[in-house]
Structure 1
C-alpha cells in the first residue's frame, strides 16, 4: 500500500506578514481597551501590550519587552477576575469582560511570535485578539451572540491580506476553547470563504 502523503511541518512566514498580522491583532484589541480601563483605570498593562504590538507592526523589532508586555497583559486578565487569588470571573459585573479585553491585548503582543508551524494551534495566535475582543463586547453588552456579530464582521472586513494568506497555509482552527474557541472558528471560516 502506498504511503499516505503527509502535511508539511512548516509554512512560509515573512516578517512583513508577521507585522501585518500583529497590526490587525493590535487594532482588534484596541477596540476594547476601554472595557478593561473602566474596571482598572490605573493598570496600563493591556494598553502597553497593544502599543508594543503596534510598534512591531509599524516596523519595530521583536524584543523581550514586547514579549514581557504580552505576558503582563495576560497576568492582568487573571488579576482583574480574581483568578490569581482563586476567585471566579463572574464575581464582579464587568470583570469577565475586562479580562477578555486584557486577553485580547495579550494576544495582540503574542501575534508577533506566530510560529511558522503548520499547526491548527497557530490560528489562535492569528485570531485570538479578535475573538477575545468580540467576547469582551459580548459580555459587557449582555446582548449575547448578537453583540459579537458586529465585532467579528469588523474583523472580517479589516483583516489585511497577510491574515488570509497565512490562514490559507494552516489547518482550520481546532475544536474546543469554549465561547472564544467558537468565535475563532467562526472568524476563521469567514476569512477562508
Structure 2
C-alpha cells in the first residue's frame, strides 16, 4: 500500500476514539441488560474498551470481547437489545481502528454511536426521527480529538441500512462542525 493511503494515528487517538465509543455503548447498555439480564457479554465488551481507553493494551481478550458482544446481539431477545449489544461490540472494536484511508474505518469511530442511536429508535417503536434526535440531543459529547481523527478519514461509506444512515448523518454533522481551537502555546 502506498504511503499516501496511511493515516497518522497515535495510541492517544485510539484511546480517545475508544473512550467515546464506550460511552456511547454504555448509554444504551440498560436496554440490553433489561432484555437479557443474564448475558454479561455486552458489559464485558464495554468494560474491555474502557480499560483500553484508560491505558490498557490492545489484546486478544479485547478483540474476543468485541466478538462476544457481537454474538450476544445475534441472540438478543429484542431488536433494541440487539442494537445495544452491537454498540458494545463496536466500542471494543474501536480500539482496532486501522491507519488506512478507507471509508469503512469510520465504522470504528462512529459505529457505536450509530448503533446506540438505532437502539433508542427501535426502542421507540422504530419511530423515524428518534435516532436523529438522539444524535442531536442525547449522544455523549464528542471530544474534539475524536472529530480530528474522523476528519483524517474519508466520509462514512454508503450502505448499512438505517444504522448506515445514522452514521452518515453524524459523520456529516461532525465534519461540518467548527474545528477545535489550536492548543495554547
Alpha-carbon distance between aligned partners in 1 of 2:95 and 2:138, rounded to the nearest angstrom: 18
Q: Paired residue for 2:66, among 70, 73, 79?
A: 70
Q: Paired residue for 1:177, among 140, 156, 160?
A: 160
What's 1:126 paired with?
Answer: 109
Larger Rg: 1
Alpha-carbon distance between aligned partners in 2 of 1:177 and 1:150, rounded to the nearest angstrom: 19
Alpha-carbon distance between aligned partners in 1 of 2:129 and 2:59, rounded to the nearest angstrom: 38
Describe the superposition over 1:20-71 as per-residue Cα deviations: whole angstroms up to 9, x where unpaired.
0000000000010011111110000000000100011111111111111000
What's the C-alpha RMSD, in Å, of the aligned pairs? 1.7
Unaligned runs of 5+ in 1: 1-5, 82-94
1:78 CA drift (Å): 0.6
TM-score by length of 1: 0.86
The count of corresponding residues between Structure 1 and Structure 2 is 175
- CA contact under 8 A between 1:100 and 1:136: conserved in structure 2? yes
Alpha-carbon distance between aligned partners in 2 of 1:127 and 1:149, rounded to the nearest angstrom: 14
TM-score by length of 2: 0.90
- CA contact under 8 A between 1:36 and 1:102: conserved in structure 2? yes
Unaligned runs of 5+ in 2: 177-185
